[in-house]
Amino acid sequence: MNQKVFKDAKSALTGVKDNMTILVGGFGLCGIPENLIVALKETGVKNLTCVSNNAGVDDFGLGLLLQTKQIKKMISSYVGENATFEKQFLSGELEVELCPQGTLAERLRAGGAGIPAFFTPTGVGTLVAQGKEVRNIDGRDYVLEKAIKGDFALVRAWKGDKFGNLIYRKTARNFNPMAATAGKITVAEVEELVEIGDLDPDQIHTPGVFVQRIFKAPSLEKRIEQRTVRKN
């Protein structure tokens, strides 16, 4: 029987090396694999290319790896929340590929799905399309974008079983499912780790075939970026 269960983030990152491409799930701080990110920082690996929609904030999420300068290149759609990021970007210390959010989502989906490249209308006529093939299909221009795959994919789910089947919760889902399919080694940190057979097959968002390693998160801070409430 396939042994996918690891005891913690550190052991689940065995084999991560300098210069690797790491895919990281999450939108803002929502749904980020918090423990894996800290463990990644603690491995001390450097020159990483990180693919994630956002770059966390200065002291949480991927921002932690920016502070230790372990990231050589980021591929993201929006980095506004992170002042360290913007500074390193504007000064040239950090290489950045800004990619439209939908294109980023689809590049990851394609990477896991065996689609090497695809056409999208997004970004035609803008800086995003520079240097890329643009083709007119049925009267509209589309730009050719390439799939993204990673050496490792770090994802966070709500529930997972020991086969690696994953269920996500609410808007913490976001980029995690696509990242999970596109990593050579996908590591999932889950809030609840259950036995094979405990999850209803109809409820599964990521079939376990995509997941190589899984561990139960000891705790999750689940930091909120913009706590917004209404009065009663």
Partner 1 sequence: MPLTREQIAKRISQEVQPNYVVNLGIGIPTLVANYIPESMGVMLQSENGLLGIGPFPLENEVDADLINAGKQTVTAVKGASFFSSSDSFAMIRGGHVDLTVLGAMQVDQEGNIANWMIPGKMIKGMGGAMDLVAGAQRVIVAMQHTDKDGTPKLLKKCTLPLTGVKCIKKIVTDFGVLDITPQGFVLIEHAPDLSPEQVVSATGASVEISKECRPMKI
Residues in contact with partner 1 by CB under 8 A are 27-31, 53, 76-81, 86, 89-90, 96, 98, 100-103, 105-106, 108-109, 120-128, 158, 168-178, 205, 222-230, 232
Cα separation, 64 vs 40, in Å, equals 10
Cα 43 from chain centroid (whole Å): 18
CB of 177 to partner 1, least distance (A): 4
Cα separation, 210 vs 182, in Å, equals 8
Which CB atom, from 6 or from 150, has the smaller least distance to partner 1? 150
Which CB atom, from 61 or from 164, has the smaller least distance to partner 1? 61
Which CB atom, from 16 or from 153, has the smaller least distance to partner 1? 153
CB of 15 to partner 1, least distance (A): 27
Task: For the chain, report the end-to-end CA distance as a whole number of angstroms.
Answer: 53
CB of 52 to partner 1, least distance (A): 11
Cα torsion 208, 210, 215, 220: sign: negative
Which CB atom, from 5 or from 192, has the smaller least distance to partner 1? 192
Cα separation, 212 vs 185, in Å, equals 6
